[in-house]
Amino acid sequence: MPRKPKAKAKAEIDVEEMVKEIVEEEPAPLDQFKLEDLEGVGRVTAQKLRDAGYYSLRDVAYASAHELALVIGSEERAMNIIRSAQRLLGYGHEFITAKELFEKRKNLEYISTGVRALDGLLGGGVEVGSITELIGEFGAGKTQVCHQLAVMVQLPRGSGGLGARALYVDTEGTFRPERIVQIARHRGLDPEQALENIVYARAYNSDHQMLLIDEAKKIIEKENIKLVIVDSLINHFRSEYPGRENLASRQQKLNKHISQLHRLASLYEVAVVVTNQVMSAPDVFFGNPMRPAGGNIMAHGCTYRIWLRKGKEGKRIAKIIDSPMHAEKEAVFVITENGLEDL
Ligand code: GTP
Ligand code: MG
């Protein structure tokens, strides 16, 4: 595949073609080893693993024996293969001190939101290796934040970006290349280039959405992608599994999708940003009856949760909820034709 993917951030994109193109391609050489280098894995097993979405040793090394057994049959065999992958990649099983973890966290990378107040709230921007969830009612600005980040990630390091590209999974058909052009111009980027730097796919249902994230693994490294956006994470799941009777299956599948995204974030060192809707909880009589959709699975699955709401005179207010380390502060910004800006 040439450096530039054929799928550009333009309004008319043949997604079927794009998926076919990605599927037919050989996976990127993510590690120096192939699946066939694993102990007890021959060509047939390697193919089974690839068909199930385990493309690299890293995918196998972090799998659980239970899930791998669903692909290759026995848990014992799965455990041996996982161990073999971990050995080849040199993963230890040691504990580290909090000091070591502290030092590790100092090297974390962030993508600036382009809004000082919001970056301040987030401790520098959207964190690489984590999932950041944008929550809010319609028109709150979730999609606008996604557009802005897809441009910001392209800025050089030192200017708020990571000099990298974005992968945008659009489930609602609300991605607008025209908006990217405006934001890129304002940030001093060549708009054409900014569009080339966004790899776009429309997800038509929840299975397709999960397939796209699986396929994303193959292109992240070779296409220098540092930001993966899923806008919105949940709408297909909600519409395909309506009502109480489908809740258990929906949550199970959603859980799988979120683990998929978690793995993508931590193994491939990208920032994952997802959006989520709010719904009114019928059982709340006092206080705010609005709740993020997706229940506990979403609440526990996403590392940082930002609640966006509309304020007076077009202002937007962002607040971090359920964070392991942020105070419950608020940041105010505005949406203009330049994108998101400080007040
Ligand atoms: P849903 O997807 O419907 O749940 O909403 P959302 O939270 O994704 O909202 P979105 O990000 O689409 O925000 C839409 C709002 O952004 C609009 O109502 C406008 O207020 C604002 N907006 C979008 N584009 C522009 C623009 O070019 N100029 C200005 N000034 N505002 C804009
Ligand atoms: Mg939206």
Q: Whose CA is nearest to atom 29 of ligand 1?
A: 336
What are the domain boundaries of the chain? 35-89, 105-342
Class assignment of domain 35-89? mainly alpha
Q: How far is the CA of 333 from the centre of ligand 1 (A)?
A: 13
Cβ–Cβ under 8 Å, residues 228 and 169: yes
C-beta of 141 in contact with ligand 1 (< 6 A): yes
Structure tokens at 118: 């919001």
* Superfamily per CATH, domain 105-342: P-loop containing nucleotide triphosphate hydrolases (3.40.50.300)
H helical segments located in the chain = 15-24, 43-51, 57-61, 65-72, 75-89, 98-106, 116-122, 142-152, 177-186, 191-196, 206-220, 235-240, 247-267, 295-301
Q: State residue 265 phi and psi, 5-degree precision.
A: -60, -50
Task: Locate the ligand 1 atom nearest the alpha carbon of residue 275 and give its number.
Answer: 8
What local confidence, expressed as pLDDT, does residue 140 receive? 96
> How far is Cα 193 from Cα 138, in angstroms, rounded to an integer?
30
For the chain of 343 residues, list the mean pLDDT of each consecutive stretch of 10.
45 51 45 85 94 87 90 94 89 82 90 97 94 96 98 97 98 98 98 98 97 93 95 96 92 93 92 94 75 88 92 94 78 96 94
Q: How far is the CA of 144 from the centre of ligand 1 (A)?
A: 6
H helical segments located in 90-176 = 98-106, 116-122, 142-152
Structure tokens at 133: 């969830």
Q: Whose CA is nearest to atom 14 of ligand 1?
A: 139
Which residues contact residue 218 at a Cβ distance below 8 angstroms, ignoring those fewer than 6 apart? Answer: 22, 25, 27, 28, 55
> How far is Cα 79 from Cα 295, in angstroms, rounded to an integer?
32
Residue 276 carries which side chain, given as an amino acid letter?
N
What local confidence, expressed as pLDDT, does residue 5 receive? 46
Structure tokens at 21: 């193109």
Task: Locate the ligand 1 atom nearest the alpha carbon of residue 139 and give its number.
Answer: 9
What local confidence, expressed as pLDDT, does residue 329 receive? 83
287 three-state secondary structure: coil
Q: How far is the CA of 231 from the centre of ligand 2 (A)?
A: 7
Q: Of the residues 113, 144, 170, 181, which should be mutated to test ligand 1's pocket, given the most ligand atoms within 8 Å of the CB?
A: 144
Q: How far is the CA of 307 from the centre of ligand 1 (A)?
A: 15
pLDDT in tens, 19-62: 454 444 444 444 578 899 999 999 999 999 998 888 888 889 88
> How far is Cα 42 from Cα 19, in angstroms, rounded to an integer?
27
What is the number of other CB atoms lying within 10 angstroms of the CB of residue 312?
A: 6
C-beta of 336 in contact with ligand 1 (< 6 A): yes
Ligand nearest to the CA of 181: 1
Nearest by Cα to 225 from 330, 336, 149, 337:
149
> How far is Cα 250 from Cα 237, in angstroms, rounded to an integer?
6
C-beta of 339 in contact with ligand 1 (< 6 A): no
